[in-house]
């Protein structure tokens, strides 16, 4: 994927419009409870400020009604946090689409919640052209919204004088391309989660590419059903058994495999107090719920990961929130942390597991995009990236 990169451009004296992803969680009083996304946006902003650009930054926040900025929709708390991180004042500008505000080289303004503008979500061309007229260079640094064609992620990229990827977006594109388009073999994918139906496209796409496809959670239970195993009252989708079988057949035809668990951890309920039993997969009783991989299966996965060249990780293999069902995910996380392979991880539950087992510094690349990460794995074209690719030559 060829896109212009911010770091390759001369921004001195230029008006730069950065679409960042500053959609951070807040408490009822409006205080920011977790600022990872704001921190992740700093490198692109700092680069532009250090090199004498006049910087405008915008983002969406929450799910506002277009045309109004309610008290829950304002980026005001984000402006304060951004100012603290940059050690300089960040002015918040409302009603900015038609201009009427000033920003000097070396200064930064935050443009109020872009999803409050009428036409943003529908990628309105008139809105996109007005925003493009505000800048000399458009920078998309919001990978988390790359799978949506909106005015600030797609339309503006068509009409701005120059359109490029920011530091974060560029790193995402490079990491995902490295993992999926030119992977060092063996390529191992880990896909966990509750439902085969929500991950079916990914599983089928990966089945054509990977050497080992590790499935976990409810997905693994559906695959066990497809392999003729009894799963008791475990979370599964019996109606997806045929699709699971197809994925295994695609892999088998290529000499690849889906390594299913040989032992599991079961309980009669999902709770912190549930009594966990480790049993062979052939001993699952009618009222058992499979909630994790057993030690033999976990050790086998760790061995597969140890010999991998590239690892793509999306989803835990068990209910890792409870200690007695965390063993499989913990062993897998440890194996990824100790592996020499290039690893890329993404998705909310995966990020929670990485945080819980303290391996963030040992994962090759942690993707900031949930939906965008999944759609990239599915092989879909992401509109925001396609718009930047279209502008690569001009």
11-32 per-position pLDDT tens digit? 999 999 999 999 999 998 889 9
In angstroms, the Cα distances linking 148 to 231, 325, 369, 380 are 38, 36, 12, 12
Range of 219's domain?
A: 185-340
Question: Within this chain, do residues 162 and 19 fall inside the same structural domain, yes or no?
Answer: yes
Report if residue 14 sits inside a domain: yes
Task: State the number of CA atoms in the 13 A half-sphere of 250 facing the CB.
Answer: 17
Tell me the mean pLDDT in the region 48-71: 96
Q: Do 346 and 144 form a contact (C-beta atoms < 8 A)?
A: no
Question: Within this chain, do residues 197 and 158 fall inside the same structural domain, yes or no?
Answer: no
Which of these is catalytic: 37, 289, 330, 391? Answer: 37
| 22 is annotated as contributing to ligand binding | yes
Does 348 qualify as catalytic in the annotation?
A: yes
Check residue 201 and give its pLDDT.
Answer: 87
Question: Within this chain, do residues 102 and 223 fall inside the same structural domain, yes or no?
Answer: no
pLDDT in tens, 34-46: 998 999 999 999 9
Which of these is catalytic: 228, 348, 393, 394? Answer: 348
In angstroms, the Cα distances linking 243 to 196, 225, 312, 329, 384 are 8, 11, 21, 25, 31
Question: Within this chain, do residues 89 and 238 fall inside the same structural domain, yes or no?
Answer: no
Check residue 221 and give its pLDDT.
Answer: 96
pLDDT in tens, 228-243: 999 999 999 999 999 9
Question: Within this chain, do residues 121 and 191 fall inside the same structural domain, yes or no?
Answer: no
Question: Within this chain, do residues 214 and 145 fall inside the same structural domain, yes or no?
Answer: no
Report if residue 350 sits inside a domain: no
Check residue 197 and give its pLDDT.
Answer: 85
| 12 is annotated as contributing to ligand binding | no
pTM: 0.88
- Place 121 in a pLDDT band, splitting at 50, 70 and 90: very high
- The residue from 306, 324, 340 where one domain ends is 340
| 393 is annotated as contributing to ligand binding | no
Question: Within this chain, do residues 75 and 192 fall inside the same structural domain, yes or no?
Answer: no
Does 37 qualify as catalytic in the annotation?
A: yes
Question: Within this chain, do residues 158 and 212 fall inside the same structural domain, yes or no?
Answer: no
Tell me the mean pLDDT in the region 94-98: 97
Question: Within this chain, do residues 131 and 224 fall inside the same structural domain, yes or no?
Answer: no
Report if residue 230 sits inside a domain: yes
Report if residue 36 sits inside a domain: yes
Report if residue 334 sits inside a domain: yes
| 349 is annotated as contributing to ligand binding | yes
Question: Within this chain, do residues 140 and 190 fall inside the same structural domain, yes or no?
Answer: no
Which of these is catalytic: 52, 232, 371, 379? Answer: 371
Question: Within this chain, do residues 152 and 53 fall inside the same structural domain, yes or no?
Answer: yes
One DSSP character per residue, 225-252 reads: HHTT---TT-S--GGGHHHHHHHHHHHH
Measured CA to CA, the distance from residue 368 to residue 9 in angstroms comes to 24
Report if residue 56 sits inside a domain: yes
Nearby residues of 151 by Cβ (< 8 Å), 6 or more positions away: 114, 117, 119, 120, 121, 122, 123, 124, 127, 128, 131
Does 391 qualify as catalytic in the annotation?
A: no
Domain count of the chain? 2
Tell me the mean pLDDT in the region 347-351: 88
Which of these is catalytic: 158, 195, 209, 229? Answer: 195
Question: Within this chain, do residues 189 and 148 fall inside the same structural domain, yes or no?
Answer: no
Mean pLDDT of the chain, nearest integer: 95
| 141 is annotated as contributing to ligand binding | no
Report if residue 314 sits inside a domain: yes
Measured CA to CA, the distance from residue 117 to residue 106 in angstroms comes to 27
CATH code assigned at 80: 3.40.50.1260
């Amino acid at each position: 994927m060829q896109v212009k990169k911010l770091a390759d451009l001369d921004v001195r004296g230029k008006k730069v419009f950065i679409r960042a992803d500053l959609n951070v969680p807040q408490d009822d009083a409006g205080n920011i409870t977790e600022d990872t996304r704001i921190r992740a946006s700093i490198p692109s902003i700092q680069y532009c400020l250090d090199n004498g650009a006049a910087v405008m930054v915008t983002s969406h926040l929450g799910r506002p009604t277009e045309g109004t900025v309610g008290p829950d929709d304002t980026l005001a708390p984000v402006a304060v946090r951004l100012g603290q991180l940059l050690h300089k004042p960040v002015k918040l500008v409302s009603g900015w689409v038609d201009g009427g505000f000033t920003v000097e080289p070396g200064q930064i303004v935050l443009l109020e919640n872009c999803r409050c503008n009428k036409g943003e979500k529908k990628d309105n061309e008139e809105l996109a052209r007005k925003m493009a007229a505000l800048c000399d260079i458009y920078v998309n640094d919001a990978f988390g919204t790359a799978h949506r064609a909106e005015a600030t992620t797609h339309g503006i990229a068509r009409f701005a004088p120059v359109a490029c990827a920011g530091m974060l977006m560029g790193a995402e594109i490079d990491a995902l391309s490295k993992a999926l388009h030119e992977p060092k073999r063996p390529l191992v994918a880990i896909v966990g989660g509750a439902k085969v139906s929500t991950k079916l496209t990914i599983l089928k796409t990966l089945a054509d590419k990977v050497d080992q496809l590790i499935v976990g959670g409810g997905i693994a239970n559906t695959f066990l059903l497809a392999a003729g195993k009894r799963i008791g009252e475990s979370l599964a989708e019996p109606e997806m058994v045929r699709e699971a079988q197809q994925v295994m057949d695609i892999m088998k035809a290529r000499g690849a495999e889906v390594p299913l668990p040989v032992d599991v951890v079961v309980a009669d309920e999902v709770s912190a107090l549930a009594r966990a039993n480790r049993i062979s997969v052939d001993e699952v009783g009618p009222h058992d719920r499979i909630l994790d991989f057993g030690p033999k299966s976990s050790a086998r996965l760790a061995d597969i990961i140890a010999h991998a060249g590239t690892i793509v990780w999306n989803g835990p293999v068990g209910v890792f929130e409870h200690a007695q069902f965390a063993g499989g995910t913990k062993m897998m996380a440890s194996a990824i942390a100790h592996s020499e392979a290039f690893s890329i991880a993404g998705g909310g539950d995966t990020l929670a597991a990485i945080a819980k087992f303290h391996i963030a510094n040992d994962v090759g690349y942690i993707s900031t995009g949930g939906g965008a990460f999944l759609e990239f794995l599915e092989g879909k074209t992401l509109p925001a990236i396609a718009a930047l690719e279209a502008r690569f030559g001009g």
